[in-house]
Amino acid sequence: MASRDAGVSGTAAALETRKGASIHRPGQEELYILSNYGVPGVLWSPAGEMSAWTMGARSLDKRGSFFKLIDTIASEIGELKQEMVQTDLSLENGLGPSETHSMVRHQDSGRSEEKDVKPCPRDSGYDSLSNRLSVLDRLLHTHPVWLQLSLSEEEAAQVLRPQPPGIFLVRKSTKMQKKVLSLRLPCEFGAPLKEFTIRESTYTFSLEGSGISFADLFRLIAFYCISRDVLPFTLKLPYAIATAKTEAQLEELAQLGLNFWSSPADNNPPNPPPPHRPLCSDGAAPASRQLCLINGVHSIKTRTPSELECSQTNGALCFINPLFLKVHSQDLSGGPRRPCTRTPSANGTERPRSPPPRPPPPTINSLHASPQLSRTAAPASMPETATHHQHGNVALLGAKPTPVPPPRLKKQASFLEVEGSAKTLTGSRPRPEPAAGPAGSAGGARTAGEEEEEAAPGDCTRAQPAAASASSSRSPWCGGGRQRLSDMSLSTSSSDSLDLDRSMPLFGYEADTNSSLEDYEGESDQETMPPPIKSKKKRNSSFVLPRLVKSQLRKMSGVFSSFLTPEKRMVRRIAELARDKRTYFGCLVQDYVSFLQENKECHVSSTDLLQTIRQFMTQVKNYLSQSSELDPPIESLIPEDQIDVVLEKAMHKCILKPLKGHVEAMLKDFHVADGSWKQLKENLQLVRQRNPQELGVFAPTPDLVDVEKIKVKFMTMQKMYSPEKKVMLLLRVCKLIYTVMENNSGRMYGADDFLPVLTYVIAQCDMLELDTEVEYMMELLDPSLLHGEGGYYLTSTYGALSLIKNFQEEQAARLLSSEARDTLRQWHKRRTTNRTIPSVDDFQNYLRVAFQEVNSGCTGKTLLVRPYVTTEDVCQLCAEKFKVGDPEAYSLFLFVDETWQQLAEDTYPQKIKAELHSRPQPHVFHFVYKRIRRDPYGVIFQNGEEELTAS
Amino acid sequence: MMAIRELKVCLLGDTGVGKSSIVCRFVQDHFDHNISPTIGASFMTKTVPCGNELHKFLIWDTAGQERFHSLAPMYYRGSAAAVIVYDITKQDSFHTLKKWVKELKEHGPENIVMAIAGNKCDLSDIREVPLKDAREYAESIGAVVVETSAKNAINVEELFQGISRQIPPLDPHENGNNGTIKIGKPPSQAGRRCC
């Protein structure tokens, strides 16, 4: 067998777990479960350290360099071996050795045994089939059945009453405005059902009263199907769902939605499995059965019976340790490094090896080892496969022409383990025991045979094509969502660790610094990735070529970053959706982006351009939060108060990112055309020559070195497409300025001192682009952030730039031109009205008109005047608003450059205003409604100017 | 359940009257290390309980110099409250205060809560503005008024408590929107009233 050429070495990944604050139950803390096919074993590591190992297969072929990395890892990990338990190698390889039964072995021995392994079918095909789908998979597929957010308490009671104890629903309580888990109780409990509040923190989901929290709702439910924790007993899946054998069946059930409960499909089991499955820490064996695991994930259905048998023997490795998960997610996130030194190093080395989980399209030359084998691909060719599982695969392959899917899973499992990410859940091994019933792998085992599931989380782009191409029963829709979920860890991360991963951009920017930069890198990394289909090919080829290992590393890091948080995964998922023109959302986004790029003429001003983009993003967000194109629904993955934040980030990624270059060019064109570019340039020059005191600065100012640092930050800012990240960099600039001002004096400087210094610094930086940068941020930033710190310093920066632009005329201590003030007001008005009514050009529809009366001086009103309203109409409006008794004696005048012009009846005041605004030099002008007869009160008007301009 | 309401508050007043000192005093006394501090004193935040709500003040300082006057609308736009500060030892600053009040009345947000702070009350022996004048003026415009000393931490808390009391309680139907974040225990739906 070809597979034999590859020596198999078992590599173990040691995963270090720390005790996590989030877990309060000692019993669960250190429980690791290895579940194998017939022989589950539980590993304890009293020290709190757990190790999972994966089998590494060494391939002798050209991919040697690859394996050097693995060897490195293996040696590093070797030190941790004592703690490690080896599962059956054969299991991992996809070979089912009967001996593996024995369970836990040392790695060393495992290796030799591996070779000896013979496939030995252990249980009946039926059993394995029925258990092939993990609980998490079942939950994911059937969320339309049990996730009924809109159900009332009464309706939920109605649905659950006929159900056996343990059956549950998740709905949203309108009273509490929270999600609740409605659980059917057995008769002896008195009440027919009980509701458990689901707590959503900023980062996690958990049951009220429990210390265990989860990254998403699915994981939470999956966990409680296995462990009761704060519940009276474990949750139970409806019989039909628990016993469905294929995803297609689950799909059918899901189609029923709420009707499932009243349909014949929801028949009860002849012998209902006991609802109680206490997870006892030392009772590893029973518990382990329920947690299923891993490995041979492929769908057995397409295989011949003999293949099935082989695959059944594959060992499953499962561990559930929230703490462990947490630690690893931190590492992966690239957030602050944790003290555990080994894990990170292992991660680093391992990365190149781990392939993106996506299955390649069937047509691709799978021979070269794309890490992801399509099922049809020959396993031997895959590098990854080779690494870990070649052995087993080959054996299988030799026997059958059909490709063996498991390799990919194995590899995945192995890399995951090494990474220590919670994802270990990857390969769900079919459980031999039907009795296990609802229990699946807690960790989100995958169903066998589904290529998509195997796909790595980051890589979702591949999933879809694969899904489409796949002949198997899997339904395309589930590809992205399911993958993502299956990749997710059953994480019970404590909020503190998550804080680091998910930071709020404007508050706590210090902590955010790392992550934001990472994001940025990750994003640029992503940019290099071609669209889905191409990317598959590229990836495959990159795997083949050693010289591409490095780039692969980079890509892998991108993949890993996707593990970080549900938030990032969701953003990625939406970004993928945006590229998929088969979805409505994808069409919407793609069409808009290309429309903007191709139609430069359609916007009259830079503000107009930015506003329509902002409006589009807001609308698309609304669409996404209501549409069903996101599956599973965003509410099940993201805590409610974070949904908007996540959607906003996704909008930046799928709309602003592709448009950034175009928008920047357009903004510059507009500014050059209207003369403001030149004006700013000249005035910057002028202001730079002033000394700080002339600008009103009476605090220490940055020296040249600091100014250089600030310029670097500004330049980084220019590279960002996300307005929030830009603002974050702006905040860092401001922070630096404060540091210089305070100069260890301990003195606190308020705006009286800060604004002049900011103005001085901006002038010293001499960056014309700042003007468009600020405009970009001001118009595109999420309106909810405008009142925060970011909004404050953005406002101050805009103010400083306005001062500079008007410096020439105003000189120090002069007022800004009314135009600048007008602009400021209009901006704020627009941005604040935007929050409720997204009306793009509200501000363009208003005209401020002064009313001048001989006796009463001057008063002003802002009137609604649309662009094509004539002066005649405006006069009528004024007569009404100012209550003029003899309108024919009045007319509308334009006061500009110290002169009065009566406007003809057929002119358009808004066009005149626009023309005045577009002049290179700002003009002070006013529309005044006054008596036609020339009168001497122009003087009065001038005195009244203060009032007008202040308005 | 406690709801956090974010309230934008802008600080107006002549330069040198101690606008930022008041805020620094307010924010830094009983400093809570759990809350990430802001990068500088121009923008500070502080959360205080008020009835069943938590009010998170987002305090926007403005530059008091005349040349920056024209930028003020951007700062006070959208504010729930304005703190207008004068120096009791400088009559001019009280005059400026009146100009700010007028501008806010004309162009500020509707229903903005105005609070007048006569700062430097520790220097009352050189006072130029009688407390009575300030009280009468405040009454005439329906503003909160208090004499403060940022230096000696007098009446600073009271100033902001006075603002809190003037903020209308949240409409129960809007819970969860408009920047309100729910925290803490499940709601007893009653009692969303503040004070």
- Closest residue in A to B39 (Cα) is A735
Name the closest residue on chain A to residue B37, using Cα atoms: A508
Packed helices A390-399 and A305-313: angle between N→C axes, nearest 10 degrees: 170
For B29-46, how does the pLDDT look when each residue is reduced to its tens digit (9 = 90+)? 765 555 667 899 999 999
The residue among B28 and A461 whose pLDDT is bigger is B28
User: Cα–Cα distance between A280 and A922 in angstroms, integer?
Assistant: 77
**The predicted structure's pLDDT at residue A74:** 59
Cα angle A340-A342-A344, degrees, rounded to a multiple of 5: 80
Q: Are A580 and A460 in contact (CB under 8 A)?
A: no
Using DSSP's 3-state secondary structure scheme, residue A683 falls into: helix
Q: Which amino acid is at B64?
A: G
More confident position, A377 or A599:
A599
- Over residues A868-892, the mean pLDDT reads 84
pLDDT at residue A295, rounded to an integer: 38
Interchain pair B77, A796: CB under 8 A: no
Question: Distance from B114 to chain A by nearest Cα, in Å?
Answer: 18
Give A751→chain B minimum CA distance, Å.
Answer: 5
Preferred mutation among A789, A802, A821, A848 to probe B, highest tally of B CBs within 10 A: A789
Identify the residue among B61, B98, B101 best suited for mutation to test binding to A, counting A beta carbons within 10 A and taking the highest: B61
Nearest to A788 among B58, B66, B71 (CB): B58
What does the pLDDT read at residue A302?
37
User: For helices A723-742 and A704-719, what crossing angle results, to 10°?
Assistant: 170
At B34, is the secondary structure helix, strand, or coil? Answer: coil
Preferred mutation among B39, B66, B101 to probe A, highest tally of A CBs within 10 A: B39
- List of chain A residues whose C-beta atoms are within 8 Å of the C-beta of residue B75: 795
To the nearest whole angstrom, how far is the Cα of B73 from the nearest Cα of chain A? Answer: 6
Rounded to an integer, the average pLDDT of A706-719 is 94
Query: Minimum mean pLDDT among A283-287, A738-742, A808-812: which range?
Result: A283-287
- Residues in chain B closer than 8 A to A828 (CB atoms): 73-74, 77-78
Task: Name the amino acid, one letter, at A944.
Answer: G
In this prediction, what percent of chain B has a pLDDT beyond 90?
59
Q: Out of A76-80, A462-466, A746-750, which region has the weakest mean confidence (pLDDT)?
A: A462-466
B61: which chain A residues are within 8 Å (Cβ-Cβ)? 750-752
Predicted local distance difference test score (pLDDT) of residue A798: 94
Residue B95 predicted with pLDDT over 80 = yes
Task: Flag whether pLDDT at A452 surpasses 90.
Answer: no
Alpha-carbon distance of A97 to A99, in angstroms, equals 5
Q: pLDDT digit string (tens) for B21-31?
A: 999 989 887 65
DSSP bridge pairs for A599 = none
**Per-residue pLDDT tens digits for A395-427:** 344 333 333 333 333 333 333 333 333 333 333
A947's enclosing H/E stretch is helix A945-950
Closest partner residue to A197 (CB to CB) among B62, B106, B186 is B186
pLDDT value, residue A617: 92
pLDDT, tens digit, for every residue of A505-553? 333 333 333 333 334 433 433 333 333 333 333 344 334 444 544 455 5
Residue of A nearest to B16 (CA): A752
Q: So what's the pLDDT on residue A922?
A: 66
Nearest CA in chain B to A812: B67
CA quadruple A685, A689, A691, A693: dihedral positive or negative?
A: negative
CA distance A436 to A434: 5
Distance between CA atoms of residues A746 and A525, nearest Å? 42
Bigger pLDDT: A289 or A207?
A207
User: What per-residue confidence (pLDDT) applies to A793?
Assistant: 96
Tally Cβ neighbours within 10 Å of residue A407.
42
What lies within 8 Å, CB to CB, of A171 at 6+ separation is: A148, A149, A150, A151, A152, A153, A156, A179, A180, A182
Q: Which residue has the higher pLDDT, A155 or A455?
A: A155
Taking every pair of Cα atoms in chain A, the longest distance, rounded to a whole number of angstroms, is 110
- Mean pLDDT for the stretch of residues B106-123: 93
User: Per-residue pLDDT averaged across A439-465, rounded?
Assistant: 38
Chain A residues whose beta carbon lies within 8 Å of the beta carbon of residue B63: 751-752, 754-756
User: Which residues from chain B sit within 8 angstroms of residue A731, using beta carbons?
Assistant: 39
How close is the nearest chain B Cα to the Cα of A760, in Å? 14
Residue-wise pLDDT for A157-168, tens only, equals 888 888 888 889
- Asked if B60's CB is within 8 angstroms of A754's CB, the reply is no
pLDDT tens sequence across B163-186: 999 998 876 554 444 444 444 444
The reported pLDDT for the residue numbered A153 is: 86
Rounded to an integer, the average pLDDT of A644-659 is 92
The CA distance from A810 to the nearest CA of chain B, in Å, is 9
Identify the weakest region by mean pLDDT among A22-36, A239-253, A631-645.
Answer: A22-36
Cβ pair B42:A749 closer than 8 A = yes
Q: Say what the pLDDT of residue A216 is.
A: 83
Give the pLDDT score at A559. 46
Asked whether residue A711 carries a pLDDT value surpassing 80, the answer given is: yes
B77 CA: distance to closest CA in chain A (Å): 7
**Residue scoring higher pLDDT (A151 or A735):** A735
- Determine the Cα angle at A751 with ends A747 and A757, to 5°: 80
Higher model confidence: residue A11 or residue A202?
Answer: A202
- Nearest-CA residue of chain A relative to B13? A752
**What DSSP string runs through A751-792?**
HHHHHHHHHHHHHHHT-THHHHHHHHHHHHS-GGGTTSHHHH
- Of residues A325 and A847, the one with the higher pLDDT is A847
Cβ contact B73–A828 (<8 Å)? yes
Pairwise CB contact (< 8 Å): A752 & B77: no
Cβ pair A787:B24 closer than 8 A: no
- Report the residue from B61, B71, B78 with minimal CB separation from A824: B71
Residue B70 to residue A178, Cβ atoms within 8 A = no
Higher-scoring residue by pLDDT: A495, B122: B122
Length of chain A: 951
Contact criterion met (CB below 8 Å) for A115 and A391: yes
Measured between beta carbons, the chain A residues lying within 8 angstroms of B83 are: none
**Residues A696-719, mean pLDDT to the nearest whole number:** 92
Residue A756 with chain B: CB contacts under 8 Å = 63, 65
- Give the single-character DSSP code of A449: B
* Spatial contact of A823 and A906, defined as CB atoms under 8 Å apart: no
Which two three-digit tokens encode residue A242? Answer: 């628990």
How many Cα atoms are found within 13 Å in the side-chain-facing hemisphere of B78? 31
Residue B144 C-alpha, separation from nearest chain A C-alpha, in angstroms: 23
Would the CB atoms of B67 and A798 count as touching at under 8 Å? no
- For chain A, count helices (H), then strands (E): 42, 14
Shortest distance between the Cα of A668 and any Cα of chain B, in A, equals: 24
**Residue A934, number of CB atoms within 10 A of its CB:** 9
User: In the structure, what pLDDT confidence band is assigned to residue A748 with cuts at 50, 70 and 90?
Assistant: confident
pLDDT digits (tens, 9 = 90+) for A549-606: 445 554 454 444 445 577 888 888 888 888 888 888 888 899 899 988 888 888 888 8
What is the C-alpha separation between A492 and A327, in angstroms, rounded?
A: 10
Residues from chain B that touch A789, judged by Cβ atoms under 8 A, are 38-39, 43, 45, 58
Q: Using CB atoms, which residue from B20, B58, B181 is nearest to A748?
A: B20
pLDDT higher than threshold 70 for residue B20: yes
Looking at residue A675, its pLDDT comes to: 87
Q: What is residue A528's predicted lDDT score, i.e. its pLDDT?
A: 35
Q: What is the mean pLDDT of residues A23-52?
A: 37
Give A705's pLDDT tier (boundaries 50, 70, 90).
very high
Best probe of the B interface among A752, A827, A835, by most B CBs < 10 A, is A752
Give the model's pLDDT for residue A648: 92
Give the best-scoring range by mean pLDDT among A200-214, A473-487, B8-22. Answer: B8-22
- Tell me the nearest-neighbour CA distance from A540 into chain B, angstroms: 46
By Cβ distance, the residue of B15, B43, B77 closest to A793 is B43
pLDDT band at A268 (very low <50, low <70, confident <90, very high): low
Across the interface, whether the CB atoms of A815 and B19 are under 8 A apart is answered: no
Residues of B in contact with A738 (CB under 8 A): 39-40
**CB-based contact A510 B64, cutoff 8 Å:** no
Burial class (CB in 10 A: 0-12, 13-18, 19+), A852: buried
Write the residue in B58, B65, B175 that is nearest to A752 by C-beta.
Answer: B65
Closest Cα in chain A, distance from residue B5 (Å):
12
Name chain B contacts of A625, Cβ cutoff 8 Å. none
Enumerate helices (H) and strands (E) in chain B, giving the number of each: 5, 7
Give the pLDDT band (50/70/90) at residue A761. very high
Task: Please name the member of A176, A816, A821 whose beta carbon is closest to the beta carbon of B187.
Answer: A176
- Distance between CA atoms of residues B98 and B96, nearest Å: 5
Please tell me the predicted confidence (pLDDT) of residue A844. 58
What is the rounded distance in angstroms from the CA atom of residue A827 to the CA atom of residue A523? 31
**Bridging pattern class, strands A899-902 and A213-214:** unpaired
Closest-CA residue of chain B to A829: B77
Tell me: pLDDT of B133 over 90.
yes
Mean pLDDT of chain A: 63
Query: Cβ of B71 and A507 within 8 Å?
Result: no
Residue A128 has pLDDT above 90, yes or no: no
Name the more confident of A101 and A200.
A200
Residue B80 to chain A, least CA–CA distance (Å): 11
In chain A, the percentage of residues whose pLDDT exceeds 70 is: 48
**pLDDT value at position A821?**
60
Pairwise CA distance, residues A728 & A717, whole Å: 8
**Count of CA atoms in the C-beta half-sphere (13 A) of A247:** 27
Q: CB distance A787–B6 less than 8 Å? A: yes
